[in-house]
Chains A and B, each alone.
Chain A
Amino acid sequence: MRHAPALFGAAAFLAGLAAARVLGAPARARASVVVPHAPADLRCVDVADPTAFVEDCPETRDAAAACDLGLAAVRLATEGRPTTHMPFPDVPEGEQAGPWTDRLAEALIACAIPATFEVSDCDEYPCAAALRVDPPEQARLGEAWSACPGLAGLEVESIEVHCPDGSTEVAHVVMSTADEVWARAVQVNGALPPNPGVAALLGWARRAESVTQMWECNVHGR
């Protein structure tokens, strides 16, 4: 229990996350609000197999191929080095990339959550997703989320994204908060670290930053 205080601190943070969401729960929404739907055609790409692309966007394909080489070089340079990134563990099917993303997308539609599913990221475990919520709809997000059974165990938190043009936008990042999920996420070689609460807190932040790195700014201005 030597590190119990640190765990307590992390627990307080996570409790704060939940409390903020509860305290921020808005009054009951008006029925006339137009609800943007999540995409129904969401699909997943196996990063290890970049060949399954069509030929009608060669510039993007070439750029992706060049980036692949650069990323491979970066990873080769850091291979075997100590890292805070944990390998994707063996997880139940529902926590795997495709089913997790499908479940989220379907629940957003089924519960008419006022959010647009922008992108999900399963590069590490657990999967994370970023949603866009129109400012007028943000007030009713908390209540709609809490009332949706398909979103049980998933929490959404707001993160400010700094755009290249200097503006800022808000990404709503979705991740699981289940204890068993984070126990899997922070384990190293099958064992929990000595400070699992702190590891979970830092892991949450790392995943949040990862998915917001793919945030596309100024979508509405295009």
Chain B
Amino acid sequence: MSEAKAGPVGVFGAVALWGAAGLLLGVAVGLGIPFRHQIAVPAIVAAASPPDRVPRVVCTRRPRSAELVASADCDEMQTRLDWCNARVNAATRTRATTAPPEAIGIDDPADWDRRLRRLLAACGFAGSVRNTDCSEYPCVTAVRFDGDEAGFLNGDDECPARQGVTGAESLHIVPVTVACGDGRADTLWMVGIADEAVMTTLYPRASRGFLPAVEVVLLGARRAEALAAGWACPGESATGG
């Protein structure tokens, strides 16, 4: 995770490391030079009307042996039960904070909240702090920037005081698109500060191949989902926090 210090944005660093130029390094470089590359995502020409009913389908796994299942239909039902249980677990699980003892203080939710507000104030940005999730390391907070995030992202050039808040740790900011209840899109910015030594402890193989990097990407997606659940779209009241 050591290279994660190089940049201000990322899906918790290891994405950038593993991808050779990933989010953190990409932003660090991309902010400093004329931008030449982007993902080729074709424009949606017309807003497609959602179909009346889109079947949500889960497909079966193969019956493994006569001893394991009474019939193919039972195996099919078992798959469906597995699917249902997986969805319930995903929606209701709580995850223990896995930060090791040396991370205490870094990961304290109250301390994190104060630190983030100090960071925003130090940089003079009007981003509003919304809900925080400390169910896993590091704490992350959803922030609404209302258009002034570019300066925040530009880092030390725009905000020299930022270094005094983050210190040797890495600041990570990820834009997360959510679908609001009324169908509109909204963007929350997931902000976290991660101690690289802690991340290395939690993901010790982060620099030794593909699998741990994927774990960190999965971590980023989980955290984004947790923040989205408590996010307040324009005109709404937040329920999480």
Contacts and interface: CB of A to CB of B under 8 A. Distances in A.
The answer to whether A and B belong to the same complex is yes
Interface of A: 1-17, 19-20, 39, 41-48, 50, 53-54, 56-57, 60-61, 63-64, 67-68, 70-71, 74-75, 78-90, 97-98, 101, 116-123, 157-160, 170, 179-180, 182-184, 186-206, 208-210, 213-214, 216, 219, 222
A181 to B, nearest CB: 10
Nearest to A15: B19
B77 A189 contact: no
Contact of A57 (B10, B30, B74): B74
Contact of A160 (B89, B180, B215): B215
A53 B73 contact: yes
B24 to A, nearest CB: 7
Contact of A202 (B24, B84, B220, B239): B220
Contacts of B87: 71, 74, 123
A60 B89 CA distance: 18
A179 B39 contact: yes
Given A9-B10, A82-B233, A209 B26 contact: no
Q: Which of A84, A97, A192, A206 has the most chain B CB atoms closer than 10 A to its own CB?
A: A84
A45 B60 contact: yes
Contacts of B229: 78, 81-83
Contact of B62 (A41, A78, A191): A41
Given A9-B22, A12-B21, A191-B44, A47 B58 contact: yes
A78 B91 contact: yes
